[in-house]
Amino acid sequence: MPNVAVNLPQEQPEQEVPVLRVENLHTWFEIRRMGFIKAGVVRALDGVSFELYQGETISIVGESGCGKSTLAKTILGIHHPTKGAIYFENRNLSDLDKQGWKKYRSSVGYIQQDPYGALPPFMSVQRILEEPMKINGISNKKEQAKRIRQVMEEVKLAPIEDFLYKFPHMLSGGQQQRLVIARAMILGPKLLIADEPVSMLDASVRVEILQLMQGLQKKHNLGIIYITHDLSTVRYFSERIFSMYGAKIIEKSATKALLKQPRHPYTQALFEATSDPDAENLKSFKEVPTGEPPSLMNPPKGCRFHPRCSKIIKGLCDKEMPPEFKINEEQGAACWLYKEDE
């Protein structure tokens, strides 16, 4: 019998669900004088949207005060969003009950800027690592010990017995941050949010800590949001770079494409200032561009960057807020320069 080609029904590839989806997120803080007189509102996060896929690292860069930590803390549930939504594995966080929040918190690890401030000073390393397990119902001592051993090995706090009974003040800055990372990893998270994780550490240990995070990301296929104002590190660390300005994400680009050609004038200025060929100078961030960051209580009309932008289109940029324009498959920017001619 001749061979008959049979057309088997093609299996539809499953649509990948982002691990995290942030939609039009706003976090505003009310400022009160003398505790009760309303003095204004700080729009610390003002309409941020993006998706992050499992195993992907996104770097978020931008000057101090542009809303990076507010974004991190809103995703973590430390701040309540004023408007907008956060979806974790397609579930809206605002629909979660107490149990759901507990599960969410165990799925998202948080690495702060100041490791010493993040660690309870009166707890030993062992207790610090036991605590999240207790809260999440892992009470079996053997299981606890196994997990502690595993994460301590992973973050290279070894020999383990030398560290288990130490208190945070007995550790170096690098060791403290390794402990913070171990604590963030102990429940097997899917996502890590690292807010300037190395900016308070000695230059000599920064690379080690970043390499450690990169190793964990690969091994556990973690999603990572890496927040930094140190641009020299992002090129080694992330698939995509988001640039933030005035409480908004104003450019979203694949890392290689952005390093080759940043698109938003703010990102251009930011990266121009660090294109110093001297590797030593690359280690430090230079405050750029000239001019003041915008007030988030009274932000400028139109594009928030327009008072500092050398490419301003008068009559447009100072009047209308630019939406996000897609430039190509890898780059997008909220800038009128990329508006397609109609």
Ligand X SMILES: Nc1ncnc2c1ncn2[C@@H]1O[C@H](COP(=O)(O)OP(=O)(O)O)[C@@H](O)[C@H]1O
Exactly one of 69, 243, 253, 331 binds ligand X (CB under 6 A); that residue is 69
Among 303, 327, 331, 332, binds ligand SF4 (CB under 6 A): 303
Count of residues engaged in binding ligand SF4, rule: CB under 6 A: 14
Interface with ligand SF4, residue 322, by CB under 6 A: yes
Pair of tokens at residue 193: 């949010």
Count of beta carbons in the 10 Å neighbourhood of residue 28: 19
Footprint on residues 294-323 left by ligand X (CB under 6 A): 296
Is the alpha carbon torsion for 331, 275, 212, 170 positive or negative? negative
Q: Of 236, 232, 193, 184, give the one whose Cα is nearest residue 214.
A: 236
Which partner from the list Mg ion, ligand SF4, ligand X, none does 294 bind, CB cut-off 5 to 8 Å by kind?
none
Closest by Cα among 115, 116, 86 to 100:
86
Question: What x/- string results for residues 52 through 91 when contact with Mg ion is judged by CB under 5 A?
Answer: ----------------xx----------------------
From the CB of residue 270, how many other CB atoms can be counted at a distance below 10 Å? 24
Give residue 116's identity as a one-letter amino acid code. Answer: Y
Q: Give the residue, chosen from 25, 42, 48, 125, that forms a contact with ligand X under the rule CB under 6 A.
A: 42
**Other Cβ atoms within 10 Å of 55 Cβ, number:** 15
Partner interacting with residue 211 (select from Mg ion, ligand SF4, ligand X, none; CB below 5-8 Å by kind): none
Nearest residue (CB) to Mg ion, 228 versus 331:
228
- Tokens describing residue 58: 């996104």
* Number of neighbouring beta carbons within 10 Å of residue 150: 14
Which of 29/116 has CB closer to ligand X?
29
Q: Are strands 331-333 and 325-328 parallel, antiparallel or unpaired?
A: antiparallel
Does 245 participate in binding ligand SF4 (rule CB under 6 A)?
no
Residue given tokens 């009160």 in the structure block: 32
Closest distance of CB 289 from ligand SF4, Å: 11
Binding site for ligand SF4 (CB under 6 A): 264-265, 303, 305-306, 309, 311-313, 317, 322, 335-337
Binding site for ligand X (CB under 6 A): 29, 42, 44, 62, 64-70, 296
